[in-house]
Amino acid sequence: MVSLAAVLAAAGLASPIAAMADPHPTQQWARSARALPGSAAATATKAAARTAPSSKRLARPGTKPTAGGTGHPGPQLADGADPGHNGDGYVSNEYDLQMTYKGGEDSKGIISGPPKVYLVVWGSQWGTSSTNAAGDVVLSQDADQAVPYQQDFFKGLGSAGDGWSAVLTQYCEGIQAGTVQCPASAAHIQYPNPGSVLAGVWVDNAAPAPQAADEPELGAEALAAAKHFGNLTEAQNSNVQYIIDSPQGTDPDKWRELGYCAWHDFQRSQYGSLAYTNMPYLTDVAGCGTNWFGENTARGRLDGYGIIGGHEYAETLTDPNTPGGWTDATGQELGDKCAWIPYGANGGLFFENLSTGSFPLQTLWSNADHLCQSADPVTTGPALTLKTMCDRTDAPGRIGIPAVATDSAGAAVSYSATGLPAGLVIDPKSGVISGSSSGTAGWQRITVNATDAGGRTASTGFWESVTGNGQTGCNGIEQLINPGFENGSADVDHTVMTDSWSPSGYNVITPSSLHAAHSGTWYTWLGQDGSSSDDSITTYLNTYPGYQGANFSFYLDTESTNTAGSSPDTLTLQAFSQYDGHPLGTVRTWTSSQGANSGYQYQSVDLTPFIKQVGWGTTIGLKLVSHESGADPRTAFLIDDASAREH
């Protein structure tokens, strides 16, 4: 059997993201998740396990994935782990693909400043608050004492013996999309100073938290937290993540029904981009780490807050504005690739002894070692870094463009700029370019410079155009996993990856020589089975608050022998809700008469009206379905080089 490595090499996928990079950087599936092995219930059927992934959700064992093209994509099984004693050994990232840099969403690819976590204890259901001997906030209705446990974990990061945090420091930003190894000149994730990660705790008890908060409500709580903590600018939020703790008994983002444990995400806001995590009350569900090592103790009940909390924290550092940071070709982030490998196994779960206690953690994927690692040498970058700024268009009128520099010593930074359009100036203290511009000068190259108190300098440049068709912020980057289908097609022992498209049959995504791809080797061929069954592919698009529109495009070649104009064969694009599969509508229908235009033709549709039905910050499903009107297959709908972008 030909290995996936050979298939990818033949398809030119050594650097799978480079070919799809957007020259105007700004986002994939952000959020984080993989299924947990270790119970017989985790051994879902292979067919069910091969559903479209959602990198947002860290899934738990004992949940059956949602099959087919409706409902939310089901969980995947973890890399390196056998799913239960009777499992088939299938792992979702069997070939250990390296992480590659996606290009930076809204000029942000990692958290490059000193990492900070704000813990948000949401809702009056937590009871009254007090402080314990360690200085932790404790709540009277926190039955398992999850809140102080999390505080101790984040307080302990960076203390002696924390090799886990060092694994993260190899990853960087401001480099070419598709890069695997970071140069020393790039801005790297910083190793935390002891006791510096936990930046604050807010008990937001003015009202009850929703019983079943949806994604927009969770995002709104992150926005309220930014305001509460006084983080009111892009610079103040550039190295921050907010963890939204929901109270016991609640069901945030339907975590009970959908079978995941937690996720991380981001949103645009008036305070800059905000990275945040949805953290349910993990001990409500045994599969989310409770007594994962068999301790059967009060502290053991909180194992998930180390394993899962660490997972989401690490992935936020490496992919805060998802999907602009580090993922592999299947969309997995560095925590996904090592999730739930059993304790004692190679690259498995382990205990890290920090100054504040011993905490169970999962390993993290290291490109440098091509392994799941619990420790690595610390990698350092320049003392002063300036975030790469994306090329952008803006509408005439008031404009605000943030420049964000980071000095590893905490020294003050001053800013200057050249090439600014008339009417715009840069604030030397904040780095914000602001003012009013009519846009008469067209494209202009702007260079921003930063200087710290020690005389060190950094600079970056970007193109700016102020036009009537301008938009707020950067242009969106590719949202889809495997947009060109070059990861291949499913087969019976899962040696090739198709999870991101959920094809209706293993040969729907194909390299068949009976037709040709638009580019590369693989393409989708819908319309193979005649009127007896419809062919389809399904993917999911995560949307983000702060964006106003989204487009989906692909190249379509319609090869047809159907001459019955009254009964054409059809291809439809359907949008549906992530939660229950209810249709949001038919986006567009193509017919076999399109075959009059031979060869691949570019197709583009506006998804904005369908996203507005459920609100920005939710996930929608997209399903392309072919239907044959006759007894014999007469139309082949060939699809390649798809794309989804938000703006």
CATH code where residue 559 lies? 2.60.120.200
Q: Both 348 and 251 in a single domain?
A: yes
pLDDT of residue 396: 82
pLDDT of residue 581: 85
DSSP codes joined into one string, 283-308: GGSTTTTTTTTS--STTGGGHHHHHH
What digits encode the pLDDT tens for the residues 487-524?
A: 876 543 444 445 688 888 878 999 999 999 999 999 99
Q: Both 520 and 460 in a single domain?
A: no
The residue whose two tokens read 């008890």 is 205
CATH number of the domain to which 428 belongs: 2.60.40.10
529 burial type by CB count under 10 A (0-12 exposed, 13-18 middle, 19+ buried): middle
Q: Both 226 and 274 in a single domain?
A: yes
Question: Is residue 479 in some structural domain?
Answer: no
Closest among 273, 279, 236 to 261, alpha carbons compared: 279
CA–CA separation, 320 and 272 (whole Å)? 13
Exposure class string for 124-150: b at 16+ Cβ within 10 A, else e: ebbbeeeeeeeebbbbeebbbbbbbbb
Question: Is residue 242 in some structural domain?
Answer: yes
Q: Both 275 and 226 in a single domain?
A: yes
Domain boundary among 405, 439, 466: 466
- Angstrom CA distances, 534 to 49, 74, 266, 525, stand at 21, 22, 36, 12
293 burial type by CB count under 10 A (0-12 exposed, 13-18 middle, 19+ buried): middle
Q: Both 557 and 423 in a single domain?
A: no
Q: Both 400 and 267 in a single domain?
A: no
Q: What is the mean pLDDT of residues 232-246?
A: 95
Is residue 9 classed as helix, strand or coil in its secondary structure? helix
CA–CA separation, 151 and 245 (whole Å)? 12
What digits encode the pLDDT tens for the residues 17-63?
A: 222 222 222 222 222 332 222 222 222 222 222 223 345 566 564 33
pLDDT of residue 410: 81
Does pLDDT of 622 surpass 90?
yes
Does pLDDT of 87 surpass 70?
no
The H-or-E segment that residue 398 falls in is strand 397-402
Question: Is residue 435 in some structural domain?
Answer: yes
Question: Is residue 243 in some structural domain?
Answer: yes
For residue 274, what are the domain limits? Answer: 100-373
Question: Is residue 298 in some structural domain?
Answer: yes
Question: Is residue 111 in some structural domain?
Answer: yes
pLDDT of residue 477: 84
Give pTM, 2 decimals. Answer: 0.83
Question: Is residue 504 in some structural domain?
Answer: no
CA–CA separation, 195 and 153 (whole Å)? 10
> Pairing between strand 274-279 and 240-245?
parallel
Q: Both 287 and 185 in a single domain?
A: yes
Q: Both 396 and 362 in a single domain?
A: no
> Pairing between strand 583-591 and 570-577?
antiparallel
Q: Are 312 and 56 in contact (CB under 8 A)?
A: no
pLDDT of residue 490: 52
- Residue type at 461 in one-letter notation: G
Question: Is residue 90 in some structural domain?
Answer: no
Q: Both 460 and 349 in a single domain?
A: no
Q: Phi-psi category of 230—alpha, beta or left, where left has phi over 0 and alpha has psi -120 to 50?
A: left
pLDDT-derived band at 528, boundaries 50, 70, 90: confident
Domain boundary among 312, 344, 373: 373
What digits encode the pLDDT tens for the residues 531-569?
A: 668 999 999 999 988 888 999 999 999 998 887 777 889
Q: Both 346 and 397 in a single domain?
A: no
Q: What is the mean pLDDT of residues 269-283?
A: 96
CA–CA separation, 464 and 422 (whole Å)? 12
Other C-beta atoms within 10 Å of 429: how many? 10
CA–CA separation, 456 and 435 (whole Å)? 28
Q: List, edge to edge, every strand of the sheet that includes 240-245.
A: 58-59, 260-267, 274-279, 240-245, 116-122, 198-204
Pure H helices in 290-418 = 303-318
CA–CA separation, 642 and 640 (whole Å)? 6
Closest among 82, 29, 19, 25 to 55, alpha carbons compared: 29
pLDDT-derived band at 474, boundaries 50, 70, 90: confident
Q: Both 122 and 179 in a single domain?
A: yes
What digits encode the pLDDT tens for the residues 166-175?
A: 999 999 999 9
- Angstrom CA distances, 131 to 143, 248, 276, 335, stand at 16, 20, 25, 32
Domain count, the chain: 3
The residue whose two tokens read 């979702």 is 92
Q: Both 399 and 516 in a single domain?
A: no
